[in-house]
Amino acid sequence: MSSTLRAFRALGDPTRLRILSLLAADELSVNELQEVTRMGQSRISTHLGQLQDCGLVQSRREGKRTFYRLSEKADDTAKEFIELANRGARELPDHAADALNLKRVLARREAREEIYFNQVAGRFGRSYGPGRSWQAFGQLLLRLMPAVDIADLGSGEGLISELLARKAKSVTAVDNSEKMVAFGTNKAKRAGLKNLKFKLGNLENPPLEAESVDVVILSQALHHAEIPANALKAAHRILRPRGQLLILDLLRHTFDQAHELYGDRWLGFTEGELHQWLEQAHFKNIEVTVAAREEEPPHFTTVLAGGVK
């Protein structure tokens, strides 16, 4: 079969159109293509093999990873096929999500801190060492935190708020439960934390003045918001210029019992959704990445997202 006929066959599959369009933007590894398209590795590898066979794509090895890009030896006919693939991909329903996920994946390449943290976390706990604990490391890292004003939105009983208040200039914990606010207030008083205040309010309209805090934290709280995007806009409002928003929440999952067991309104979010909402709220330097995966069922995955005002 001629390369032209093989190229025609390649363009007959929507998945291969998506892959070609993504590779037209940048060189990508199989893992990165997985993350962008939400498809399995074997499926992606099969499509990449077919695209290589017809001369539209080439690959290179870097350590244990294989990277793919558009063929540098593509003739005029192949380039026409690639342009057709790009045009076709833009008409697919997955194109907008692919573009958002690709933007996030490429941005994360520049944030090598995550790679280093994962390497450290992977080594931690492999072998016992006296005094080596996350509790101890947390106390050490807390010493590095500057004296800033923090808002902990959806704080619950204020576990994080209480910890941060030991170094922060001030912490305002906001929760929509009167019982939680009363409990947190009493606990802060007993602990002598005069810089920790609890307020009754919701995520989408926190009782804080505009540009009044340096950091906003949404720790496992956003999935309780009625309209999550509005909560991020509210966070932007109360942040001072160059202030930072930090979000810890669940990656999209299918554990429906979370509605009843934990009162969750949303079953987590995709990285693309969080990135889009942060952009719409006018945050800059946006980062969205997986922070942890639970080994036990239902295997919840925690995603860390953030941006700067």
* Residues 3-32: tens digit of each pLDDT: 667 777 777 888 988 998 999 889 998 889
| Alpha-carbon span 67 to 53, nearest angstrom | 16
Q: Tokens 């590795």 correspond to what residue?
A: 41
Would you say residue 78 has pLDDT above 60? yes
Q: Is the Cβ–Cβ distance between 213 and 168 less than 8 Å?
A: no
Mean pLDDT, rounded, of the chain? 87
Would you say residue 167 has pLDDT above 60? yes
Three-state DSSP at 203 gives: coil
Q: How far is CA 50 from CA 12, 47, 161, in A?
A: 12, 5, 53
Look at 78-87, 117-126, 253-262, 299-308 and tell me which has the smallest mean pLDDT: 117-126
Q: What is the pLDDT of residues 209-237, one digit of tens each?
A: 999 999 999 999 999 999 999 999 999 99
CA neighbours closer than 13 Å in the CB half-sphere of residue 308: 4
Give the pLDDT score at 217. 97
Helices (H) and strands (E) in the chain, counts: 13, 10
Mean pLDDT, to the nearest integer, of 179-202? 94
pTM: 0.64
How far is residue 212 CA from its own chain's centroid?
26
Give the pLDDT score at 246. 96
Task: Record the tokens describing residue 172, joined without a space.
Answer: 């305002």
Q: What is the pLDDT of residues 85-113, one digit of tens each?
A: 788 889 999 999 999 989 888 887 765 55
Cα first-last separation, the chain = 56
**Element holding 276 (H helix, E strand):** helix 271-280
Mean pLDDT, to the nearest integer, of 194-200? 96
Give the pLDDT score at 87. 87
Task: Please report which confidence band the pLDDT of residue 53 belongs to, taking 50, 70 and 90 as the band edges.
Answer: confident
Better-predicted residue by pLDDT, 72 or 174? 174
Would you say residue 1 has pLDDT above 50? no
Q: Which CATH number fits domain 3-109: 3.90.1150.10, 3.30.365.10, 1.10.10.10, 3.40.50.170?
A: 1.10.10.10
What strands lie across the sheet with 213-219, from one edge to the other? Answer: 196-200, 170-175, 149-153, 213-219, 239-250, 301-308, 284-293
Query: DSSP readout, 157-183?
Result: T-HHHHHHTTTSSEEEEEES-HHHHHH
| Alpha-carbon span 25 to 61, nearest angstrom | 19
Mean pLDDT, to the nearest integer, of 263-289? 94
Q: What is the pLDDT of residues 25-42, one digit of tens each?
A: 899 988 899 989 988 888
Give the pLDDT score at 164. 93
Three-state DSSP at 43 gives: helix
Q: Tokens 């006018």 correspond to what residue?
A: 282
User: Does domain 133-308 match CATH 3.40.50.150?
Assistant: yes
Give the pLDDT score at 127. 58
**Element holding 66 (H helix, E strand):** strand 65-70
Mean pLDDT, to the nearest integer, of 68-84? 82
Task: Record the tokens describing residue 256, joined without a space.
Answer: 């429906």
Q: Tokens 């060492």 correspond to what residue?
A: 129
Q: Could you tell me the residue ranges of all domains in the chain?
A: 3-109, 133-308
Would you say residue 2 has pLDDT above 80? no
Are 3-109 and 133-308 equal in CATH topology? no
Q: What is the pLDDT of residues 106-156, one digit of tens each?
A: 887 765 555 555 656 656 655 556 666 667 777 777 788 889 999 999 999
**Element holding 273 (H helix, E strand):** helix 271-280
